[in-house]
Structure 1
């Protein structure tokens, strides 16, 4: 049976210049119309990650960048180019007649998979993925997209297939996201593409010399190629009483489920650590009706990452919601009989607690890897292709990859996903260096701050807008007059443009930024 889809003339052929896009209506459907190199393209108008309106994003050449989380698509094909989106954008037919651009709807689908090869049951090659987070999930897809037809085995200590980990501290913890939202893919996807996910399988040893993997069950596997994507484990709280019942961490879906069940209205919660995850969790637990106190070593949250002005603003958002802060101090001990009842601070103050959430960062889980050098924090150095040894790759929280004049390790979802994807492509025989500019986002009381680049430290911050007065701003983190990173609130297109310029190595100087920059003009010049 053939379906007759609506069509409509949506504009004149010269209404859009190259590089412009707009939403148009075709029948009862909204379509994104874009013009690139003189050709029109019509696509699904929302990002396949969290349904952001792509018309509010950036079109740079063939790259269509989501305004919210910087997923990226090829406007010519609809294919997904960058995480955190998994799927691409469906396209519709476009033709030009008598100077009119006519779009015909060709599908009702809201997403499409990138092209993947058919697996070959006769192949003896095996690729093993250790870990099922964003890096592991994208590595599996990169393998199939890159042309690998052999066996793919994903090993994870978790009882879950890959899921949307960033949501564990946000909507899911708040009870606003149902369980069915959390898996990244349906089980049928992994079955169709012959990606074998083995849950509840903890790896205790991986030997690159013999290409063997030993599981806690005693089983041993061999591989032709493997990628390490085990993520990180939460840093413990090194004080007396940390082992009491009622002390939680938040790293997994299971952690989020336990914390959500415990976070009943009126419960007294102490969050130890004023990090991004700690404060997102504080926000979510407050929305559940808990009384929330946050303890932090720094005198201002995020001061070392975002600077004191933005830190004070974020703290103010939380305080307006009723969250109390105890900063510039540390925990002395936790007290209680068998269950935590009190958090004693080194300042001498005591906080009543029905439950405690420890958010002190994570450490790469690499102790099981044999015969490789580790950094002091447990990370493992890779080359530009994310390779750490012959036929062994690393991605995500564990990967220390080369940049400019050094190396860095980034613990963020988009970075993990894109590294996993590149590692998968390379295991499939591609030779693609990982050269992505880091990106992350945080949601603090409904306000999304996007951050691009990476700055361990900085000498100066250049502001476009005043974080303490304006409802939108950019902050440029500068060291030696070099812009290392940029944070922004409600400046989505500017952030996307700046990331494109960083990627091209065409970012204006700090002096130019101080003098005022038109970012759209800068991108056109590039």
Structure 2
């Protein structure tokens, strides 16, 4: 369709511009679904760089990576869903530019698509490792399904796997590698894994967990370069001169919001695309959702960008309603995420900045890995994490939303129902 415009025909025969969604991700697919469920009958164009139809990313570091979740289970919709719901799905299609003034999207092949409203669900990209040797074969990142395929192929019994970064992705890959029988070394610059997310009190639980499962967890180390031979990685050289031998290196040092298109289009960008509580950007006809959105959150009274599945799942519901002009479409859900590592399953509800709390209260013993941890400030619960304790996310969410001061002794007592606090 190079050099052409795309639109739909209205009931009176006039030409009606579609709603265009850039980013054929979970967020993009859920936005299209929400638009149809809300009764929108106009055109929807969903554009994605990947050749795969929209899929969910959590399985890529969990069940799919472990070989427990079949590929067909990761997709958001069956292949026929898009045609059945009159959604134009443009896969393998890169967007080169957005023109908010002209209400057009320019594709990399010079095609143009006009839009009435635009939703950006461009997600994020892995941060690259800035050291010599990082461009060799066997240096792997995890974001797309083909990345998960490559990592899974490397997780063989006896294989030496080095994981750089002890965040959620790094630790989930480490767990999958150990379950596959690989030898695993995790290299982390901070004193504990997940330190910025969980704080010292709870991060130690994950350090102990991985060491008990045979992971060589090296903390407070700095990567100097990746060694190699014949273009393939052979190890990780640390700043102290030691080298960790590796058949593959998985880099998990965080992600960055994919804001390039928004910046070039003149949208306001600050740690993501800034939006209001309706997920509307600085341009009134452009919205953003998912990893890329730094959205104003009315509960917290500030902008918040959350890089987790629940945002990509739920924000599109709000965005779709806002796109259709519904003034009560406000995103105020409490952030949520989860992880599964070995025999540890956990859910986390709430939002806490690093050093933004003054106390952690435990309900249960962390040593047993069956407990709830609460992060508090001024006696108010900011977040709660249940580890191998289930069906408690709703009362924890209510404690966070309420903002009320709680009795910390009762909070720590498993005999006191959370709903009574």
**Alignment RMSD (CA, Å):** 1.9
Deviates more, 1:487-496 or 1:349-358: 487-496
Is the 2:364–2:412 contact (alpha carbons within 8 Å) kept by the matching residues of 1? no
Match of 2:390 in 1: 492
Q: What is the deviation of 1:197?
A: 1.4
1:393 aligns with 2:291: no
Distance apart, 1:120 and its partner CA: 7.5
The answer as to whether partners of 2:363 and 2:412 remain within 8 angstroms in 1 is: no
| 1:166-192 CA distance string (max 9 Å, x none) | 000011111122222121211121111
TM-score of the pair, normalised by structure 2: 0.90
Larger radius of gyration: 1
- Out of 474, 499, 517, the position equivalent to 2:372 is 474
Corresponding residue for residue 198 of structure 1: 90
Match of 2:339 among 442, 456, 464: 442
Decide which of 222, 239, 253 is 2:131's aligned counterpart: 239
CA distance in 2, matches of 1:490, 1:285: 22
**Mapping of residues 345-356 of structure 1, within 5 Å:** 345-356=238-249
Distance 2:208 2:185 in 1: 14
Structure 1 partner of 2:105:
213
Change (3 A) 1:380 1:512: farther
- In the TM superposition, residue 478 of structure 1 has moved relative to its aligned partner by 1.9
Query: How many residue pairs align between the two structures?
Result: 400
Query: Where do 5+ consecutive residues of structure 2 fail to align?
Result: 1-8
Distance 2:255 2:39 in 1: 34
Moved over 6 A (4+): 119-123
Within the alignment, does 1:285 sit opposite 2:177 as a pair?
yes
1:148-163 correspondence runs (5 A): 148-163=40-55
| Gap regions ≥5 residues in structure 1 | 1-118
The answer as to 2:296 corresponding to 1:402 is yes
Q: How far apart, in 1, do the equivalents of 2:407 and 2:148 lie?
A: 42
Is this contact kept in 2: 1:340–1:353, CA < 8 A? yes
Whole-angstrom distance in 2 between the partners of 1:472 and 1:224: 51
2:258 and 2:303 map into 1 onto residues whose CA distance is 19
- Is 1:411 aligned to residue 411 of structure 2? no
| Alpha-carbon displacement from aligned partner over 1:82-122 (angstroms, at most 9, x marks no partner) | xxxxxxxxxxxxxxxxxxxxxxxxxxxxxxxxxxxxx9786
Q: Indicate the residue corresponding to 2:6 in structure 1.
A: none
Is 1:429 aligned to residue 321 of structure 2? Answer: no
**Contact kept in structure 2, 1:309 and 1:467, CA below 8 Å:** no
Structure 2 matches for 1:185-334, cutoff 5 A? 185-334=77-226
Report SS of the residue matched to 1:304.
helix
Q: Deviations over 1:239-267 (max 9, x none)?
A: 11111111010011111011112322222
Deviations 1:458-503 (A, max 9, x none): 22211111212x3421111123433211111133233221213434
The question of whether the paired residues in 2 share the 8 Å contact of 1:270 and 1:357 is answered with yes
| TM-score, reference length from structure 1 | 0.73
CA distance in 2, matches of 1:125, 1:508: 50
Task: Write the distance in 1 (CA, Å) between the matches of 2:337 and 2:206.
Answer: 16
Distance across 2 between alignment mates of 1:448 and 1:331: 30
Which region of structure 1 is more displaced relative to structure 2, 186-195 or 421-430?
A: 421-430
Q: What SS class does the counterpart of residue 332 from structure 1 fall into?
A: strand
Q: Are the counterparts in 2 of residues 145 and 425 from structure 1 also a CA contact under 8 Å?
A: no
Q: 3-state SS of the aligned residue for 2:372?
A: strand
Q: Is the 8 A contact 1:134 1:420 kept in 2?
A: no
Larger mean Cα displacement after TM superposition, 513-522 or 227-236: 513-522
